[in-house]
Amino acid sequence: MEKLIITIAPTGSIPTKKNNPNVPIKPDEIIQTGILCEKAGASIIHIHARNPADETASTDFQIFKEIYQGLSRETNLIIQISTGGRAGMEYEKRSERLSLKPEMASLTTGSVNFTSSVYANSPDLIRALAKDMKTYGIKPEIEVFDVSMIQNALDLADQDLVSQPLHFNFVMGLKGAIPATIENLVHLKNSIPRTATWTVAGIGANQLKMCTHAIVMGGHVRVGLEDCIYFCKRELASNEQLVKRIGQVSNIIGREIATPDEAREILGLIYKK
Ligand code: ZN
């Protein structure tokens, strides 16, 4: 079976140090986490920025730049910048960071009702972000919160706004998104093109379970404190601990872990360094 790509999502927009002191907030902490997670077996890092003063999600270009440059210098990880809108929904703010030309960026191809807010991604905004990624030579990770978002991504491919082979991340078990069941995962996997690659991000206690399904099914995995702050019941995790554990699960099952360069090959990335 193809080697396993482990993505680390260390920070996200929500958890704070009060929730878990291991959440890296400042650029330097995120860079240090990247170094540790690469050693533990990660090949992709999914990046968000925070305001150092109050830990809230940030759209500040300079913060993204500092994180991006530090990780490029200190690691061989594939850097995937989030274009998620929790920090601010406007297109200009979400697009600006793409000018850093990371190898990957996230692209959510639909809207979601979160618990008390709407994560709004209009068709125009999705097309504009996809177009920017194409211009900068960035491979999108298509964030799928529901089955319809796959069809929206295939429509973008038909319009030549994203290039095949596509890469999907199935976000499962978040309130408002598709429930984290193996039946749903099988359906999602069967709904994408055969040439596409895929990753699963299970939210909360679903992380380990859904990642284990993905390892067996030939998909890839995303772990990290963005999606779950616990290692097990009542025990807080660190990012590198979550990477290490999922690597061990994969090894036990008999599937090897991809290095960043092997992940580049699997994803068809143009090597930029
Ligand atoms: Zn994210």
Quote the pLDDT of residue 273: 45
Give the amino acid at 110: G
The pLDDT of residue 66: 98
Angstrom distances, CA of residue 116 to CA of 6, 12, 55, 109: 31, 18, 20, 20
* Ligand 1 center from residue 12 Cα (angstroms): 5
CA of 194 relative to ligand 1 center, distance in Å: 25
Identify the pLDDT of residue 84. 87
Give one word for 224, left, alpha or beta, with left for phi > 0 and alpha for psi -120 to 50.
left
Question: What's residue 95's pLDDT?
Answer: 93
pLDDT digits (tens, 9 = 90+) for 24-43: 999 999 999 999 999 999 99
Q: What is the pLDDT of residues 152-173, one digit of tens each?
A: 999 999 999 999 999 999 999 9
Domains within the chain, CATH numbers bracketed: 6-267 (3.20.20.70)
Task: Please tell me the distance between residue 248's alpha carbon and the centre of ligand 1 in angstroms.
Answer: 24
For the chain, give the percent of residues with pLDDT over 90.
93
Tens digits of residue pLDDT in 60-73: 999 999 999 999 99
Using the mean position of ligand 1's atoms as its centre, give its distance from the Cα of residue 10 in Å.
9
Rounded to the nearest whole angstrom, what is the distance from the C-alpha of residue 204 to the centroid of ligand 1? 14
Quick: pLDDT tens for 81-137.
999 877 767 898 899 999 999 999 999 999 999 888 899 999 999 999 999 999 999
Instruction: Find the 47 Cα to ligand 1 centroid distance in Å.
Output: 7
**Strand 49-50 and strand 104-108: pairing?**
unpaired
Give the CB-side neighbour count of residue 245, counting CA atoms within 13 A: 17
Contact 238, 25 (CB under 8 A): no
Residue 271 pLDDT > 90: no
Lowest mean pLDDT among 14-18, 46-50, 91-95: 91-95
pTM: 0.97
Q: Give the distance (Å) from ligand 1 centre to CA of residue 61.
A: 16
CA of 153 to the centre of ligand 1 (A): 18
Report CA(238)–ligand 1 centroid distance (Å): 17
